[in-house]
Structure formats: structure tokens, C-alpha cells
């Protein structure tokens, strides 16, 4: 069938299999064009491996360090003539290219929060990966989670805490600037967000892997965070999401104690604001990203997911020495985003951004291109008028 983008809100409900494969190939080609990551990981488990930072982490490990990778995700296959999700197509394309390079690459599709999927991952590690992994990347962005112990379902909420918050946001459908007001989250919503987006499940993965004896000596694990500028803090850093991220940092400390006996180390990497399915859903953040892209592209230091993750692996986690962290023991991969000359220009432009000035002060076109690219659309070299097979399966 011929596949075209169909957008509802902050999500595209169609995905182009050839475009997704081309997008994955672009990221692979980037990593292959960079110096090999010396002393990088060799057996890697990525939880949340099908899109965004998780996918870029898997690509960086495999094609930058020659790592065998096991990916865990929750994606939708094609059914009843409907396209599969972009993450499904991404992962099929990744596996195909990894295997062509002689690398082990397998994927598990299901609920990463469940005990069952953790057991399946451990089985694959024991049977296929020499029984040990030396890196766990934890990169889940989910709207809900079922607690495996109690069966209770928790939902995340993008809400401020204490008082309502109003901010400008970009209506990408109409290309207009609007103002949204979010009411403060209830205690139940805040705790639900911590349960879904916090560090509890990261810890449970470490517990299960430790108990199974599949963590290698000097094992590393990393989870991802975001802080951003002050005018997004009420909805992010100081909101329900921020409380979840504080819990991720709590979990990092707990995990460090758990893996100390094998020389293990847990890290939290604060990454740059980028166009992802998760970031597109946060009011105000999408407008900030368009303003950020404008300035960073003009300054020549813009990065996408793959550039960020390659830099994380090559310059931070596996740089041959100490992993550099800030006073809060966080890896700051948002260092270029938060440069004063970048933030000062955005802050100066922010009050000037109106519907009539979108093109002057933001990279609206670049944002739209990156958003569509998440779903395999607008990728150079792809014939979008051609019939494509949408019912793809893993080999």
C-alpha cells in the first residue's frame, strides 16, 4: 500500500517501513563515520530500544563498539491492513543491519515493567550472550505502568505542582502560538507519575539481573534525564515529571550500592531537548525546542539523538578514564544546550515569539521535519509514492 502521514495531536498514527529503515540507516552511517569507541561495551541490554534515545543508544553500542545487543520495547505490529508502529519498523531495520555486520541482535516485544519480560531477557542473555551483559541502558517513556507486585495500574501526568501554570505553546497543526493553562496535579497524579517514570522499575531490572548472575564485572548502567531552562521548570523540573526524575536519581544511588561488589556503576545522563514522541506531548516544550533548534543550528552546535548518544558513549561512559559528572553526580550531555550564549538568546527571543514571528525566531520547519522523520516520513531518498509492504516481521 502507499503510506502517508496521518497526524492526531502529538502522534502520527501511520509509519512508513522504508522511511523508518532509511532513518535507522542514516544513524548507523553516522556512527560508522566516527572513530570506533575504544573499550566500549560488548554485551548490551537496552530497555526502551525502539525509538529516540534508546534506539540511538543501541545503534551507538552496536556500530560504534561492535556490541551484541538485546532490545526490549512495547510496539505494535501490523494488523488488519494497518501500519505497524514506527518502533516496530525501526527495530526490524536495526536487527537486519546488525546481523549483516555479524553482530548478535535480538528483540523482545512486550511489557518491560513485567516480571515475565525480565525473565525472558535473562534467558536470552544466558543462552545467546555468553551469560553476562556489561551495559544496561534504561530508556522507557511510558504513559502507564502495572506494578508487577500488586497488579495496580499507575498513570503518568504532565502537571505542575502546587499551582496552575500557563505558558505559550506551538500548535503545530495550525502553526500558531497558543497559551495553555495546566491545573496542578493531585497527590495521586504525582505519585502515579513517579511510579511510571521514576526509578523503581530500573531498580527492579537490576535486582532481577543481579539475582540471575548475568551482570559482568565492572558493569555499567545509565538512565536518561532532562532539566532544561527555567521557563519550562514549572511543567518539567518542578512538576510531576521532575519528581519522577528525582526518583531516578534516588534509584541511581541505590543501584550503585547494589552493584558495588562487582565494580559496577550507575549513571544518570541529562540529555538535550530533542524532538521525540515524549517531548512532543509536553506543553510549551515543543515551542522551546523550535527556538532551541534555531539558535543551536545558527551557532553550529546542534545535535540529534544519534550525535548525543555517540558522544555519551565515546566522550563520557567509555572515554578511557573517569566519567565526568557535575556536582549532583549527573552526566551533563546538555552542556551545549545550556551554554549561556544559547540560553541568553532564547530568553531574549521568547517574549517576541508570536504567530506572526514563528519563522523569525523558531525553526518550525526543522521541527516538523524531525517530527515526521520519527515515523519514517520525509527521509531523503525514499519514494513515498511507491507501494510498500507494511506487514514486516522479525527474522
- The catalytic site residues sit at 236
For the record, the C-alpha cell of 23 comes out as 532513518
Q: How wide is the angle at C-alpha 334 spanned by C-alphas 347 and 138, nearest 5°?
A: 135
Across 96-120, b (16+ Cβ under 10 Å) vs e yields bbbeeeebbbbbbbeebbbeebbee
For the record, the C-alpha cell of 320 comes out as 578511557
Other C-beta atoms within 10 Å of 137: how many?
A: 31
- Which residues in 119-174 belong to E strands, given as ranges? 133-138, 144-146, 153-155, 165-171
Cα separation, 326 vs 220, in Å, equals 18
Cα separation, 17 vs 74, in Å, equals 17
For the record, the C-alpha cell of 166 comes out as 500557563
CB 107 within 8 A of CB 74: no
For the record, the C-alpha cell of 15 comes out as 509509519
Amino acid at each position: 500500500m502507499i503510506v502517508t502521514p496521518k497526524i492526531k495531536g502529538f502522534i502520527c498514527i501511520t509509519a512508513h517501513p522504508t522511511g523508518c529503515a532509511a532513518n535507522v540507516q542514516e544513524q548507523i552511517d553516522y556512527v560508522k563515520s566516527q572513530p570506533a569507541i575504544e573499550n566500549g561495551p560488548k554485551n548490551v541490554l537496552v530497555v526502551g530500544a525502539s525509538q529516540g534515545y534508546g534506539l540511538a543508544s543501541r545503534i551507538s553500542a552496536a556500530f560504534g563498539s561492535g556490541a551484541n545487543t538485546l532490545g526490549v520495547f512495547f510496539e505494535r505490529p501490523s494488523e488488519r491492513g494497518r501500519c505497524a508502529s514506527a518502533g516496530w519498523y525501526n527495530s526490524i531495520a536495526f536487527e537486519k543491519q546488525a546481523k549483516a555486520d555479524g553482530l548478535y541482535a535480538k528483540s523482545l516485544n512486550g511489557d518491560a515493567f513485567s516480571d515475565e519480560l525480565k525473565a525472558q531477557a535473562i534467558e536470552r542473555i544466558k543462552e545467546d550472550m555468553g551469560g553476562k551483559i556489561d551495559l544496561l541502558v534504561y530508556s522507557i517513556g511510558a504513559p502507564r505502568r502495572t506494578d508487577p507486585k500488586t497488579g495496580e495500574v499507575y498513570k503518568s501526568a504532565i502537571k505542575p505542582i502546587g499551582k496552575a501554570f500557563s505558558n505559550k505553546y506551538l500548535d503545530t497543526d495550525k502553526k500558531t502560538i497558543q497559551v495553555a493553562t495546566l491545573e496542578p496535579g493531585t497527590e495521586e497524579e504525582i505519585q502515579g507519575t513517579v511510579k511510571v517514570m521514576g526509578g523503581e522499575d530500573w531498580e527492579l531490572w537490576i535486582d532481577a539481573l543481579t539475582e540471575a548472575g548475568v551482570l559482568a564485572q565492572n558493569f555499567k548502567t545509565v538512565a536518561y534525564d532532562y532539566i532544561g531552562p527555567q521557563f519550562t521548570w514549572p511543567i518539567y523540573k518542578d512538576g510531576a515529571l521532575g519528581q519522577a526524575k528525582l526518583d531516578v536519581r534516588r534509584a541511581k544511588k541505590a543501584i550503585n550500592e547494589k552493584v558495588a561488589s562487582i565494580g559496577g556503576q550507575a549513571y544518570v545522563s541529562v540529555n538535550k531537548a530533542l524532538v521525540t514522541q515524549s517531548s512532543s506531548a509536553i506543553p510549551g516544550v515543543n515551542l522551546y525546542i523550535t527556538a532551541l533548534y534555531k539558535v543551536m543550528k545558527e551557532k553550529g552546535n546542534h545535535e540529534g539523538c544519534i550525535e548525543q548518544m555517540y558522544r555519551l558513549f565515546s566522550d563520557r561512559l567509555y572515554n578511557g578514564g573517569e566519567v565526568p559528572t557535575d556536582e549532583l553526580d549527573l552526566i551533563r550531555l546538555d552542556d551545549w544546550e545550556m551554554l549561556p550564549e544559547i540560553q541568553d538568546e532564547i530568553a531574549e527571543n521568547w517574549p517576541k515569539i508570536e504567530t506572526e514571528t514563528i519563522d523569525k525566531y523558531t525553526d518550525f520547519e526543522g521541527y516538523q521535519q524531525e517530527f515526521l522523520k520519527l515515523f519514517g516520513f520525509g527521509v531523503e531518498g525514499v519514494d513515498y509514492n511507491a507501494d510498500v509492504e507494511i506487514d514486516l516481521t522479525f527474522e
